[in-house]
C-alpha cells in the first residue's frame, strides 16, 4: 500500500506532462530542465513560428529557448533528439513495473500485449523472444547491449547507456572542453576537428564528479541561506504582526483616555444641569407651598365674607368689612417673594467643538529607526570632482517626482541649482541657472521648492518634472539667506541684519511678522519642526537656537569642552522629531532631542565627511549630506 502511494505521488508530482496532464509518454527534457511528452512538445513547437525561424525549441512553461543540434533537419528530428533528464529517467525506471513496460514494444505497436523478456539499453525498448531475434539480425542493432528483465524483477535496468544524440548507435566516449559538451568519435571527427581540447569520458569523470559534488554543496549552502532568509522573514512578519497588534492596543488606550476626558466633561455638564435644576425646582416648590397657604386663607375669608353678605346682619357685615379692609391693606403692603423666572441654558459651539476634535492628535504612526541605529554609506553622488575647491554645495533637497528621486544641491558660486536623478536606468544631471547665487532652499510642495537669492533680493520658485524649471521670482524688501517652509501660505526667512533676525513671509515675499532669535542675528540655516518651532544656526555663533513662532525661547544648545560646536550649519529633523545638526569643522552630524538634549554623534570623521554643510532626510528615511562637491547618502543599519 505504501509503495502504491509513493508511486502515485511520484507520478502526480514529477512524471506528469504539463501540456497533456498525463503521465509522460516518451519524455524529453529541455535545457531549462522542464520535461514534456515528445508528441506534446512537437505539437506545441509547430505552433511557434518565431521559434522555428530561430532554429530553437521554446519551453511551454518558461518560454526559454533550447538550441537544437541539427538546425537544418525537420522539427520532428529536433524533438526526437531530446532525451529525458537523469532524474526523470531514474523515476521512470523505478516505476518500470507497469504493464506498459512489461509488454513488448514491437508487439504493442500491432495492438498485442506479448510479455517482454529483454531490455535493449540502446533502443530503450523491451522485446519479446521473437522480436528480439529480429532485433539481433538487424545490422545496426545486433551489437546492442540487452538485459533480461525477468532476472531484474520485471524492471528496466537503472543503468542508462550513454549514447550520442545525433549518432544514436555511437556511444559517447569523449568530452569537448571547448564546446563544453559530450560527443562520440564520429562527432569528434566531423564537427570538432578544430577544437583544441578534447578528453575522454573516463579522464573527465573525476573532474565532472568533483565539480558536481562541489555544486551540490554550493546548492546546499544556497538552500540553507534561502531557508534562513525565509525563517528570518517569517520571524520579522510575526514581530511586525505582534507589534501592530500592540500598537493598535495603544491607539485604543489613547482613544479611551481621550474619550474619558470627553465623558468626564459630559458628566460635569450633566451634574451642573442637575444641580441648577434641583436648586430652581426647590425654590419653585417653596414658593408654590406658600401660595397654597395663601389660597386657603383667601378661600376662608371668602366664605366668611359671603356668609356675612347673605345673612343680612348689619353687625356681621360691618365686622367683616372692617377686618377685610385691614387685611387688604396688609396684603397690598406685603412684598411678593416670587422666584425669578430665568431659565437654565446650555451654551455650545458645534463648529468650534468639531474643529477642536479634528485637531486632537491621538498619536502618529511612522516608519523610522531608533536612536541606536548605525548609518551606513549607500552611495556617493559626484556633482564636482573638487572635494574642497571652489565648488562647495551648501545645501541639499530631495523630492520625489512620479516615483523618481530628484536630488537638488545649492551651488552659490556658480549661481545655479544642480540636480541628479535616474530615469530609464540612466543617471542624469541637470543645472538650472539663476539670476544670482542661491543660498537657502526649502520644499514648498510635493514637487516645488523656494530658493533665496540674497544678492538680488529675490525668492525664486522652482518646479521639478523631474528636471528643474524656474516658475517665478518675487522681490523682497530685505536680503534673506536661510529659508524654511511653515505652511502653504507662509515661509520663514533669515535676515542679513537687524534687531530681529527671522521674518515670516507670505508667498509674495511680504513681511507678516518678525521674530528675534537672540544671539543669532544672521541665520544661514533655518528649519521648522513638526511643532512649528523655528530652529536656526549661524557659523559664527557656536550655538543652536530654537524659538516659537511668537518668539518665545524653546532651547539654546551651547555645549562645552570636546562637544563644543565649531561651525554649525545645516539642520533637519527625523520622523520622530529629533534634530540633526551639521557641525562643519568638526566633521560631524549631531543628534538632539526635540527639546535640545544631546543624543549622540550620528556621523563622525570616520564616515569620510569633508567639510559637510547641507543635510536633509527623504520620505524613506535616507540621509543626505553635502561634502565638498559630493553628496553622501546614508541608510540605517
- State the CATH number of the domain containing residue 108: 3.30.40.10
What confidence tens digit (pLDDT) does each residue in 602-616 have? 999 988 888 899 999
Query: What are the grid coordinates assigned to 610, written together?
Result: 569633508
Is residue 46 situated within a structural domain? Answer: yes
| Same domain? 349 vs 395 | no
| Same domain? 347 vs 388 | no
What is the predicted pLDDT for the residue at 173? 86
If one counts every other C-beta atom within 10 angstroms of the C-beta of residue 604, the result is 15
Is 440 in a helix, a strand, or coil?
A: coil
Per-residue DSSP letters for 270-333?
HHHHHHHHHHHHHHHHHHHHHHHHHHHHHHHHHHHHHHHHHHT-HHHHHHHHHHHHHHHHHHHH
| Same domain? 416 vs 493 | yes
| Same domain? 161 vs 261 | no
Task: Give the C-alpha separation, 245 to 267, whole Å.
Answer: 32
Distance of CA 562 to the CA centre of its chain: 40
If one counts every other C-beta atom within 10 angstroms of the C-beta of residue 459, the result is 25
SS3 string, 385-422, reads CCCCCCCCCCEEEEEEECCEEEEEEEECCCCEEEEEEE
Query: What are the grid coordinates assigned to 224, written together?
Result: 540553507
Low-confidence ranges of the chain (pLDDT < 70): 1-14, 86, 90, 92-102, 151-161, 324-337, 340-342, 363-372, 385-391, 497-500, 637
Instruction: Among 171, 189, 219, give the residue marking a domain's end.
Output: 171
| Same domain? 275 vs 417 | no
Strands (E), 336-389: 375-382
| Same domain? 405 vs 342 | no
Is residue 434 situated within a structural domain? Answer: yes
- State the CATH number of the domain containing residue 406: 2.120.10.30
CA distances from residue 376 to 406, 607, 623 in whole angstroms, order as listed: 21, 9, 10
What confidence tens digit (pLDDT) does each residue in 132-148 have? 888 888 887 777 778 88
What is the predicted pLDDT for the residue at 95? 60
Task: Give the C-alpha separation, 637 to 635, whole Å.
Answer: 7
CA distances from residue 150 to 95, 102, 116, 537 in whole angstroms, order as listed: 15, 10, 9, 94
167 touches 146 (CB < 8 A): no
When divided into structural domains, the chain yields a total of 3
Is residue 518 situated within a structural domain? Answer: yes
Is 104 in a helix, a strand, or coil?
A: coil
What is the predicted pLDDT for the residue at 326? 54
Task: Give the C-alpha separation, 318 to 321, whole Å.
Answer: 5
Is residue 219 situated within a structural domain? Answer: no
Is 442 in a helix, a strand, or coil?
A: strand
What is the predicted pLDDT for the residue at 100? 44
Task: Give the C-alpha separation, 273 to 156, whole Å.
Answer: 98
| Same domain? 57 vs 96 | yes
| Same domain? 256 vs 139 | no
What is the predicted pLDDT for the residue at 154? 45
Is residue 415 situated within a structural domain? Answer: yes
511 touches 497 (CB < 8 A): no
What is the predicted pLDDT for the residue at 600? 92
Is residue 216 situated within a structural domain? Answer: no
Instruction: Among 149, 171, 193, give the residue marking a domain's end.
Output: 171
Query: What are the grid coordinates assigned to 439, written together?
Result: 543660498
Q: Which of 127, 94, 135 is nearest to 108 (CA)?
A: 127
| Same domain? 264 vs 159 | no
What is the predicted pLDDT for the residue at 355? 77
Instruction: Among 330, 359, 388, give the residue marking a domain's end.
Output: 359
CA distances from residue 2 to 7, 12, 152, 156 in whole angstroms, order as listed: 9, 15, 22, 21
Is residue 207 situated within a structural domain? Answer: no
Q: What is the DSSP letter of 219?
A: H
| Same domain? 93 vs 37 | yes
Is residue 184 situated within a structural domain? Answer: no
Q: Which domain holds residue 270?
A: 237-359
Q: Output 556-564 pairs: Cβ under 8 A, ≥24 positions apart.
A: 556/518, 556/596, 557/581, 557/592, 557/596, 557/598, 559/598, 563/598
Task: Give the C-alpha separation, 614 to 410, whole Å.
Answer: 9
What is the predicted pLDDT for the residue at 161? 58
Query: What are the grid coordinates assigned to 81, written together?
Result: 533528439
Task: Give the C-alpha separation, 129 to 127, whole Å.
Answer: 7
| Same domain? 352 vs 391 | no
| Same domain? 280 vs 334 | yes
470 touches 449 (CB < 8 A): no
Amino acid at each position: 500500500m505504501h509503495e502504491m502511494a509513493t508511486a502515485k505521488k511520484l507520478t502526480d508530482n514529477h512524471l506528469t506532462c504539463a501540456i497533456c496532464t498525463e503521465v509522460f509518454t516518451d519524455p524529453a527534457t529541455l535545457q531549462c530542465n522542464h520535461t514534456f511528452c515528445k508528441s506534446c512538445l512537437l505539437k506545441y513547437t509547430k505552433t511557434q513560428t518565431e521559434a522555428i525561424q530561430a532554429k530553437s525549441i521554446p519551453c511551454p512553461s518558461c518560454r526559454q529557448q533550447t538550441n537544437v543540434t541539427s538546425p537544418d533537419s525537420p522539427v520532428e528530428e529536433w524533438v526526437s533528439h531530446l532525451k529525458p533528464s537523469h532524474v526523470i529517467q531514474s523515476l521512470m525506471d523505478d516505476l518500470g513495473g507497469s504493464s506498459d513496460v512489461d509488454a513488448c514494444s514491437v508487439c504493442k505497436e500491432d495492438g498485442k500485449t506479448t510479455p517482454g523478456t529483454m531490455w535493449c539499453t540502446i533502443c530503450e525498448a523491451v522485446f519479446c523472444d521473437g522480436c528480439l531475434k529480429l532485433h539481433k539480425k538487424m545490422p545496426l542493432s545486433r551489437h546492442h547491449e540487452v538485459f533480461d528483465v525477468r532476472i531484474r524483477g520485471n524492471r528496466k535496468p537503472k543503468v542508462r547507456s550513454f549514447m550520442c544524440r545525433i549518432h544514436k548507435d555511437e556511444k559517447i566516449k569523449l568530452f569537448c572542453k571547448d564546446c563544453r559538451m559530450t560527443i562520440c568519435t564520429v562527432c569528434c571527427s566531423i564537427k570538432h576537428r578544430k577544437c583544441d581540447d578534447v578528453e575522454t569520458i573516463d579522464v573527465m569523470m573525476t573532474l565532472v564528479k568533483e565539480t558536481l559534488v562541489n555544486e551540490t554543496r554550493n546548492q546546499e549552502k544556497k538552500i540553507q541561506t534561502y531557508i534562513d532568509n525565509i525563517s528570518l522573514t517569517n520571524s520579522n512578519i510575526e514581530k511586525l504582526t505582534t507589534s501592530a497588534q500592540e500598537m493598535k492596543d495603544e491607539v485604543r488606550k489613547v482613544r479611551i483616555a481621550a474619550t474619558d476626558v470627553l465623558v468626564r466633561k459630559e458628566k460635569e455638564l450633566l451634574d451642573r444641569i442637575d444641580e441648577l435644576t434641583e436648586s430652581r425646582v426647590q425654590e419653585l416648590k417653596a414658593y408654590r407651598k406658600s401660595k397654597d397657604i395663601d389660597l386657603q386663607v383667601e378661600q376662608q375669608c371668602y366664605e366668611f365674607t359671603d356668609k356675612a353678605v347673605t345673612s343680612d346682619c348689619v353687625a356681621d357685615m360691618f365686622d367683616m368689612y372692617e377686618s377685610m379692609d385691614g387685611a387688604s391693606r396688609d396684603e397690598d403692603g406685603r412684598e411678593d417673594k416670587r422666584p425669578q423666572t430665568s431659565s437654565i441654558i446650555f451654551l455650545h459651539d458645534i463648529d468650534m467643538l468639531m474643529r477642536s476634535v479634528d485637531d486632537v492628535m491621538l498619536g502618529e504612526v511612522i516608519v523610522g529607526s531608533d536612536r541606536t541605529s548605525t548609518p551606513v554609506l549607500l552611495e556617493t553622488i559626484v556633482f564636482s570632482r573638487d572635494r574642497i575647491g571652489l565648488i562647495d554645495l551648501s545645501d541639499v533637497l530631495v523630492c520625489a517626482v512620479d516615483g523618481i528621486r530628484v536630488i537638488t544641491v545649492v551651488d552659490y558660486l556658480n549661481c545655479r541649482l544642480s540636480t541628479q536623478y535616474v530615469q530609464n536606468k540612466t543617471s542624469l544631471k541637470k543645472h538650472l541657472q539663476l539670476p544670482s547665487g542661491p543660498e537657502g532652499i526649502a520644499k514648498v510642495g510635493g514637487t516645488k521648492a523656494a530658493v533665496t537669492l540674497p544678492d538680488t533680493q529675490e525668492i525664486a520658485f522652482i518646479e521639478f518634472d523631474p528636471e528643474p524649471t524656474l516658475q517665478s521670482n518675487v522681490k523682497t524688501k530685505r536680503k534673506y539667506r536661510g529659508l524654511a517652509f511653515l505652511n502653504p501660505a507662509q515661509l520663514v526667512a533669515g535676515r542679513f541684519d537687524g534687531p530681529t533676525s527671522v521674518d515670516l513671509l507670505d508667498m509674495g515675499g511680504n513681511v507678516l511678522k518678525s521674530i528675534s532669535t537672540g544671539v543669532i542675528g544672521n541665520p544661514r540655516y533655518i528649519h521648522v519642526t513638526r511643532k512649528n518651532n523655528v530652529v536656526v544656526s549661524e557659523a559664527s555663533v557656536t550655538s543652536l537656537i530654537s524659538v516659537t513662532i511668537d518668539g518665545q525661547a524653546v532651547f539654546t544648545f551651547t555645549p562645552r569642552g570636546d562637544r563644543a560646536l565649531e561651525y554649525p550649519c545645516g539642520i533637519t529633523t527625523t520622523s520622530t522629531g529629533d534634530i540633526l545638526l551639521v557641525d562643519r569643522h568638526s566633521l560631524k552630524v549631531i543628534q538632539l532631542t526635540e527639546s535640545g538634549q544631546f543624543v549622540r554623534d550620528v556621523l563622525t570623521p570616520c564616515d569620510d565627511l569633508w567639510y559637510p554643510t547641507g543635510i536633509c532626510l527623504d520620505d524613506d528615511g535616507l540621509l543626505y549630506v553635502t561634502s565638498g562637491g559630493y553628496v553622501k547618502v546614508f541608510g540605517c543599519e
